[in-house]
């Protein structure tokens, strides 16, 4: 299944920083529905003004990329749970990553849903009209759930599709722990060169909330041009891996539009050999990185394990090395996990993440 990518994350460090900041800020935890006297029998002008202020503050936080403000005026990890809050922050990052200024326009229709004990409101924004649910505690309005911040294709400066090609469970993290590895392809179907800064993803539960948030254990493919593809890998470490349904997996890479004249997009480092057998991949192998540029470069070897028809089964990498100008350096590629090479036909190698150093 091919998916059109509309959400992209910030780096994991910022995700955890935002979680910690919001935990420090604190906030009330929603427990069930509203008290009867907190659900207005009708919405007056003052209520609508307060709801409009909450929406405006929220989108000011998103538009200016301030996770602390956005979390403070809407929801806290205590209300959402840590995994869902990570996804909340990632959605904020998605808007900033696409270089789209998100603004709140006006509060449109409002109505009271007595059965669900929420106020339903329509907000006009630069992303279009958004329907949101709000609750009221101690005289203060809050969003009952994360507003849908999906970016319409028309507002994104790039267009990327992705699809999952393989998944497997590895127990390399210990005898009682494991990780679910999700592998796939990321395709640049737009007209601009894309800079990939990071990779992550989440798996949703049946209720639409994230059961687990994962990140990539390998460096990204910094630049890929229109029409090109790259292989991604996201690892999920979760107590009950059987509860993770890959049909609800969402890829969230952190992307930017690259400048066409950016010379760092050019690769000056090559690797020999360019292919390994599956046996060599399982035992580890020394490789040679060669730099054809006058200046030193940092680079790593990326190994893509492929099955029949070239289908990506896994992705792993060597340590990053500094390659001297017009020089070479040996680098050891770690052994692939046995689960990664099951059903593999070949392993293709490339130098990736090169950055010329002055």
Residue where the block lists tokens 């800064």: 197
Angle of the 82-97 helix axis to the 45-63 helix axis, nearest 10: 70
> Above pLDDT 90, what percent of the chain?
30
- Cα 75 from chain centroid (whole Å): 20
Distance CA 281, CA 284 (A): 6
Residue where the block lists tokens 């470490």: 237
230: nearest Cα among 191, 282, 195, 180: 195
- In this structure, are residues 230 and 165 in contact, taking their beta carbons and an 8 Å threshold? no
Residue where the block lists tokens 């505690």: 137
pLDDT tens string 167-180: 998 865 444 467 89
Residue 76 — very low, low, confident or very high, per pLDDT cuts 50/70/90?
low
Averaged pLDDT, 46-65 = 83
So what's the pLDDT on residue 99? 60
- In this structure, are residues 170 and 315 in contact, taking their beta carbons and an 8 Å threshold? no
**Helix ranges restricted to H, 64-167:** 67-73, 77-80, 82-97
pLDDT tens string 7-30: 433 323 233 333 333 333 223 333
Residues 6 or more apart in contact with residue 86 via CB below 8 angstroms: 15, 19, 202, 210, 213
- In this structure, are residues 68 and 18 in contact, taking their beta carbons and an 8 Å threshold? yes
Distance CA 181, CA 169 (A): 6
Higher pLDDT, 95 or 32: 95
Distance CA 198, CA 265 (A): 16
Residues 6 or more apart in contact with residue 354 via CB below 8 angstroms: 267, 268, 269, 297, 298, 299
Residue 199 — very low, low, confident or very high, per pLDDT cuts 50/70/90?
confident
So what's the pLDDT on residue 171? 67
Residue where the block lists tokens 């893509």: 304
Residue 97, pLDDT above cutoff 70: no
Could you tell me where the beta strands, DSSP code E, fall in 200-241? Answer: 200-204, 210-215, 223-224, 229-236
pLDDT tens string 234-282: 998 876 777 788 888 988 887 777 765 555 556 788 999 999 998 888 8
Residue 346: burial class (beta carbons within 10 Å; 0-12, 13-18, 19+):
middle
pTM above 0.75, yes or no: no
Higher pLDDT, 207 or 314: 314
Residue 87, pLDDT above cutoff 80: no
Going from the N-terminus, what domains does the chain have, and what CATH number goes with each? 2-152 (3.10.450), 157-257 (2.60.40), 266-357 (2.60.40)
Distance CA 178, CA 245 (A): 16
């Amino acid at each position: 299944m091919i998916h059109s990518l509309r959400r992209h994350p910030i780096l994991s460090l910022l995700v955890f920083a935002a979680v910690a900041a919001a935990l420090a800020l604190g906030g009330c935890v929603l427990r069930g529905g509203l008290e009867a006297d907190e659900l207005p029998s009708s919405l007056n002008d003052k209520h609508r003004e307060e709801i409009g202020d909450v929406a405006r503050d929220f989108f000011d936080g998103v538009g200016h990329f301030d996770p602390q403000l956005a979390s403070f005026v809407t929801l806290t990890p205590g209300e959402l749970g840590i995994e869902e809050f990570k996804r909340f922050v990632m959605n904020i990052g998605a808007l900033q990553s696409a270089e789209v200024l998100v603004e709140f326009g006006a509060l449109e229709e409002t109505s009271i849903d007595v059965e669900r004990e929420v106020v339903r409101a329509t907000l006009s924004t630069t992303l279009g009209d958004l329907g949101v649910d709000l609750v009221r505690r101690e005289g203060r309005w809050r969003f009952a759930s994360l507003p849908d911040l999906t970016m319409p294709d028309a507002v994104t400066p790039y267009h990327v599709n992705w699809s999952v090609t393989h998944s497997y469970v590895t127990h390399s993290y210990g005898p009682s722990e494991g990780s679910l590895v999700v592998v796939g392809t990321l395709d640049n179907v737009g007209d601009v060169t894309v800079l990939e800064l990071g990779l992550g993803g989440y798996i949703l539960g049946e209720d639409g909330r994230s059961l687990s948030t994962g990140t990539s254990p390998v460096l990204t493919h910094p630049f890929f041009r229109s029409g090109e593809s790259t292989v991604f890998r996201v690892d999920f470490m979760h107590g009950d891996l059987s509860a993770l349904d890959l049909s609800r997996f969402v890829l969230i890479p952190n992307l930017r539009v690259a400048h066409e004249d950016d010379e760092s997009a050019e690769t000056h480092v090559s690797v020999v050999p360019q292919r390994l057998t599956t046996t060599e991949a399982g035992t580890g192998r020394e490789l040679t990185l060669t730099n054809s540029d006058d200046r030193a470069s940092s680079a790593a070897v990326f190994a893509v394990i492929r099955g029949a028809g070239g289908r990506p089964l896994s992705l792993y990498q060597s340590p990053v090395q500094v390659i001297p100008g017009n020089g070479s350096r040996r680098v050891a590629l770690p052994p692939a996990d046995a689960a990664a090479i099951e059903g593999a036909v070949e392993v293709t190698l490339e130098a990736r993440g090169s950055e010329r150093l002055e």
